[in-house]
Amino acid sequence: MKGVILAGGTGTRLYPLTKLMNKHLLPIGKHPMIHYAIDKLKEAEITDILLITGKQSAGLYTDYLGSGKDWGVSLNFKIQDEAGGIAQALSLAESYISREEKFVMILGDNLFEDNLKPYVERFKQQPNGAMVLLKKVPDPKRYGVPLIHGGKIVKIDEKPEKPLSNFCVTGIYMYDGGVFDVIRTVQPSQRGELEITDVNNAYAVNDLLSFSVLEGWWSDAGTFESLHEAQNVLSRGRERG
């Protein structure tokens, strides 16, 4: 399987730290944030990786990561010219993923403890469709919240005022090669972006969206509070939270 890391976005919630630097290059513990997504894919024996980022920091990524040789992986790069949503960024991977392939996509600001390999192996056994990884959180209204019925995700509500569960959809996704056809059916949201929640709901409505729940610590490191929490956890080398 191949891996895709999305490391674009404007990082407005972390401004002014992100005025000159992409948030995924901010230091967390001993490394830039992007280090951990690459490390987690490699841990799951996924070494063929596409990194998608914006124009602003593309040169910094290539200077830091190079071909990926020093990391034990093979890295390719794609540029998202302008913010168009996670699904639009993912669409840039279509030339990298064959229609017959399954792959893992990680949002680069996701920091977590679990080894992805067991989840990847489970997804390999799934004939087709998609899988999302969930995590129980104290503030689900910040995220996409799954409505689960009969052990299946019926739909995902994006940032609901009254969440129907305490679980959130993390930024760790697995898809079959048909996801690019699904993206083409998605309409822009009120923000003018192609939302990954709409893609996932298209799978859910056809009973093709499975899920697993992360057991260990997880953070999206997208706010000053979560960035600080991730910094403390990884600086101390704590394993669980």
Amino acid occupying residue 84: G
Query: Residue 229 CA to chain centroid, in angstroms?
Result: 19
What is the radius of gyration, based on Cα positions, of the chain? 17
> What residues in the chain have per-residue pLDDT under 70?
9-20, 224, 227-228, 235-241
Report residue 36 as tokens. 């951990």
Residue 7's contacts (CB-CB under 8 Å, 6 or more residues apart) are 22, 24, 34, 37, 51, 52, 53, 61, 108
Q: How far is CA 69 from CA 26, 49, 132, in A?
A: 22, 12, 29
pLDDT of residue 11: 56
What span, in angstroms and rounded, lies between the C-alpha atoms of 58 and 130?
29
Burial class (CB in 10 A: 0-12, 13-18, 19+), 5: buried
Greatest Cα pair distance, the chain, in angstroms, is 48
Of 100, 114, 128, 106, nearest to 196 (Cα)?
Answer: 106
| E strand or H helix that includes residue 172 | strand 167-176
Burial class (CB in 10 A: 0-12, 13-18, 19+), 121: exposed
pLDDT of residue 56: 79
The SS3 assignment for 69 reads helix
Phi, then psi, of 142 in degrees rounded to 5:
-80, -10
pLDDT of residue 240: 38
What span, in angstroms and rounded, lies between the C-alpha atoms of 202 and 179?
10
pTM of the model: 0.91
Report residue 60 as tokens. 């910094």
- Residue 155 per-residue DSSP state: E
- Residue 187 per-residue DSSP state: P
- Residue 108 per-residue DSSP state: T
- Residue 116 per-residue DSSP state: S
